Amino acid sequence: MFSYDSIRKMNETELGIYKYIIANLDKIPFMTIRELSEAVHISTSSVLRFCNTAGFEKYAEFKKAVQSEKESIRTSPPREDLKEILRYMTGTNTSAFEEKIESAAELIRNAETVIFAGQGSSGTLAKYGARYFTNLGKFAVGLEDTFYPVGNNFPHGGALVALSESGETKEVNNFVLQFRKKDFSILSITNSPHSTLAKLSDWNISYMMNHERINGGFNATTQVPVLFIMEAIARRIDKKNTL
């Protein structure tokens, strides 16, 4: 209903109206122009200018478009891949999941050295995870090269967060074993809780999504849960630090 171009042209007042409408789609079809103007604390003429910016000549025309948008949202079922992600997100709203996140946060909070590691797509996520943790105040380093020489380059002790969808990537698992010799605590985030990497770890958080490969074997399993888990842990650390 709102195109990118129309939103881009909106001024600060119009953006305020837009945000209110998006948050109250169910109410708008039943609101008069005066009721809407009072709800967002502006004049009715400002509402009309907003309608014009959005591509509608009259407020009544705009309300009909909102009603159509609301009905299309209600009648459009989510795609199967979205359903899977929604099921996962719903399943995280448990005390058991929260305990895992809190335990992981405590592990990383107390570690002087924090390394995120992975290979391929997981390596890219490792870099993101390290940056996100650093943004929230816990310095971390992300490695996507699992052939990185550990040797004397790392101090003893610390925390390694190993990412692997399959948990069976030989190079990643060998990398983890090197950090074991350095007395690092190992947290892994994998799809399966029964993978080799999960067994090598002190703590494992698994997300158990449907495994998917396309285009000759490339991994297409969603990594949304990995991002969610990493961000949830980082936010628990940040929250504890600000108390």
pTM, two decimals, is 0.67
Q: How confident is the model at residue 10 (pLDDT cuts 50, 70, 90)?
A: confident
Supply the pLDDT for residue 110.
92
Supply the pLDDT for residue 241.
66
Calculate mean pLDDT across residues 14-20.
89
Calculate mean pLDDT across residues 119-128.
95
Q: Which pLDDT tens digit goes with each residue over 49-88?
A: 999 988 899 999 999 998 888 777 665 555 667 888 888 8
Checking DSSP bridges between strand 159-164 and strand 114-117, what pairing results, if any?
A: parallel
Sign of CA dihedral 65, 70, 75, 78: positive
What CATH class is the domain 4-75? mainly alpha
Multiple choice CATH, 80-242, 3.40.50.10490, 3.30.930.10, 3.40.1440.10, 3.40.50.2300: 3.40.50.10490
Portions of the chain given CATH number 3.40.50.10490: 80-242
What phi and psi values does residue 239 have, to the nearest 5 degrees? -65, -45
Q: How confident is the model at residue 4 (pLDDT cuts 50, 70, 90)?
A: low
Please provide the average confidence, as pLDDT, over all residues in the chain: 88
Q: How confident is the model at residue 188 (pLDDT cuts 50, 70, 90)?
A: very high
Q: Between 242 and 129, name the one with better pLDDT.
A: 129
Calculate mean pLDDT across residues 138-148.
92
Supply the pLDDT for residue 119.
94
Q: Is the pLDDT of residue 3 over 90?
A: no
Report how far apart, in Å, the C-alpha atoms of 17 and of each of 14, 66, 190 are: 5, 13, 43
Token pair 């994998």 in the structure block, residue:
190
Q: Is the pLDDT of residue 236 over 90?
A: yes
Q: Is 57 exposed, middle or buried (0-12, 13-18, 19+ CB in 10 A)?
A: exposed
Residue 115's SS3 state is strand
Supply the pLDDT for residue 69.
81
Helices 121-135 + 224-242 axis angle, to 10: 20
Q: Between 152 and 196, name the one with better pLDDT.
A: 196
Q: Is the pLDDT of residue 243 over 80?
A: no
Q: Is the pLDDT of residue 205 over 70?
A: yes
Report how far apart, in Å, the C-alpha atoms of 107 and of each of 74, 140, 189 are: 43, 13, 14
